[in-house]
Amino acid sequence: MHLTNKSSILITGGTGSFGKKFVETVLQRFPNIHRLVIYSRDELKQYEMAQCFSGRDHPGLRYFLGDVRDRDRLTRACEDVEMVVHAAALKQVPAAEYNPMEFIHTNVIGSENMVQACMDAGVKRVVALSTDKAAAPVNLYGATKLCSDKLFIAANNVRGNRDLRLSVVRYGNVMGSRGSVIPFFLQQRHHGVLPITDPEMTRFNITLQQGVDLVLWVLEQSQGGEIFVPRLPSYRITDVAQAIGPDCEHPVVGIRPGEKIHEEMITTSDSYTTVDCGSHYAILPAGEDLQAYCQTMGGRLVPPGFNYNSGKNEQFLTVEQLRQLIQNHVDQGFKVPVGAA
């Protein structure tokens, strides 16, 4: 299935950081798209987003108020929709520990509602967004996203004769996303102190545009049942501090509850069903014909015991590369500190 101006797409969580970039990209490539539904529960964010992306300029654009906890509303939103991108989630780790059932209602039950709505409405392609925290989760947020991943993958087993494929895209830290370290450091550098959680800490790095491009590719190319993991560079938290505030103090404050030193997106247990496709990995369901998938998608099996960990990555971003990425993707007004190496 290929995206064209005749396509109809629904994106949940459509007013978030990913949703905005997704809508911007789709409208740039398909300005006369038949239907693009932005589904979210915040009327103010929808109003603000409509100032940038107007139905007057794009007649196929729809703003649909609703919560993923409401299955009937989701089913109505899926009418006349071929493709769904499920980006709605609660995702703040500390908030999940304090409000566990709220995260379960949105991230787990909301995902099951999405699956059932897609089946009832005749949707053909579904891509759900996941997170590195779903791999060997150590906090409730990660556990709810692991459950969500399992729901979307397992739904391929009960689709019957429907022309429906459901897949998951898992990636790590999005550069410049709300609540992430780079915007925090950019704000804090004016105070002269950039707190370091742990000097050994590393993270994978992906830009919003890279995330959107991967999801669009998966919508067209997935076979159904895969968890797609992009091959990404890593960065060291100390290099981020050096890139943004080399003249600042960098006190070590310790990691927060539920936080990992390194991101992990493929565990050793996943290695036995993981295919290396070059630009990305695909984790397949147990029992899948791995050799047939390799032939179809042009991949090869990873070695047994392989894991994909930001601390053991082959590629790390340099301080200079980080500064350039910050200028290009986070803050165009960012200036390299005077006298910085």
DSSP at 205: -
What are the tens digits of pLDDT across the range 86-116? Answer: 999 999 888 999 999 999 999 999 999 999 9
- Number of structural domains found in the chain: 1
Share of the chain above pLDDT 70, in %: 99
The per-residue pLDDT for 310 is 95
Please state the rounded mean pLDDT for residues 51-75. Answer: 94
The per-residue pLDDT for 331 is 87
> Tokens 């509303």 sit at which residue?
73
Beta 125-129 vs 165-169: how paired, if at all?
parallel
pLDDT at 271 over 70: yes
What are the tens digits of pLDDT across the range 242-268? Answer: 999 999 999 999 988 778 999 999 999
pLDDT grade, residue 234 (50/70/90)?
A: very high
pLDDT at 333 over 90: no
The per-residue pLDDT for 299 is 93
- The CB-side HSE value for 191 (13 A sphere, CA atoms) comes to 9
The b/e string for 35-52 (b: 16+ C-beta within 10 A; e otherwise) is bbbbbbbeeebbeebeee
- Is residue 218 assigned to a domain? no
Share of the chain above pLDDT 90, in %: 86
pLDDT grade, residue 229 (50/70/90)?
A: very high
The per-residue pLDDT for 56 is 87
Highest mean pLDDT among 48-62, 102-116, 177-191: 102-116
Domain residue limits at 65: 8-170
pLDDT at 341 over 60: no
What angle separates helix 140-154 from helix 110-121, to the nearest 10 degrees?
20
The per-residue pLDDT for 259 is 84
- Is residue 276 assigned to a domain? no
pLDDT at 238 over 90: yes
CA 88 – CA 97 distance, rounded (Å): 19
pLDDT at 314 over 80: yes
- The CB-side HSE value for 266 (13 A sphere, CA atoms) comes to 29
Tokens of 64: 């649909």
Tokens of 293: 């998938």
3-class DSSP assignment, residue 63: strand
pLDDT at 228 over 80: yes
pLDDT at 180 over 90: no
**Do the Cβ atoms of 177 and 306 come closer than 8 Å?**
no
Q: Using alpha carbons only, give the angle 24, 147, 271 rounded to the nearest 5 degrees.
A: 90
pLDDT at 337 over 80: no
Point out the residues that are catalytic. Answer: 133
- Is residue 329 assigned to a domain? no
- Is residue 243 assigned to a domain? no
**Do the Cβ atoms of 154 and 146 come closer than 8 Å?**
no
pLDDT at 151 over 90: yes
What are the tens digits of pLDDT across the range 18-49? Answer: 999 999 999 999 999 999 999 999 999 999 99
CA 312 – CA 61 distance, rounded (Å): 43
CA 56 – CA 46 distance, rounded (Å): 15
**Do the Cβ atoms of 236 and 316 come closer than 8 Å?**
yes
Beta bridge partners of 90: none
pLDDT at 172 over 90: no
Tokens of 53: 């992306």
Tokens of 336: 């390299």
User: Structure pTM?
Assistant: 0.93
Beta 264-266 vs 274-276: how paired, if at all?
unpaired
Burial classification of residue 247, based on how many CB atoms lie within 10 Å of its CB (0-12 exposed, 13-18 middle, 19 or more buried): exposed
CA 133 – CA 143 distance, rounded (Å): 8
Beta bridge partners of 275: 282, 301
- Is residue 298 assigned to a domain? no
DSSP at 120: H
- Is residue 214 assigned to a domain? no
CA 168 – CA 148 distance, rounded (Å): 9
CA 189 – CA 248 distance, rounded (Å): 7
Nearest C-alpha neighbor of 127 from the set 48, 58, 222:
222
SS3 content of the chain, % helix, strand, coil (to 5): 40, 20, 40
- Is residue 19 assigned to a domain? yes
Q: What are residue 280's phi and psi, to 5 degrees? A: -155, 165
One-letter identity of residue 246: P
User: CATH number of the domain that 71 lies in?
Assistant: 3.40.50.720
pLDDT grade, residue 133 (50/70/90)?
A: very high
Please state the rounded mean pLDDT for residues 4-11. Answer: 96
- Is residue 138 assigned to a domain? yes
Q: Using alpha carbons only, give the angle 264, 258, 101 rounded to the nearest 5 degrees.
A: 110
Average pLDDT across the chain, whole number:
94
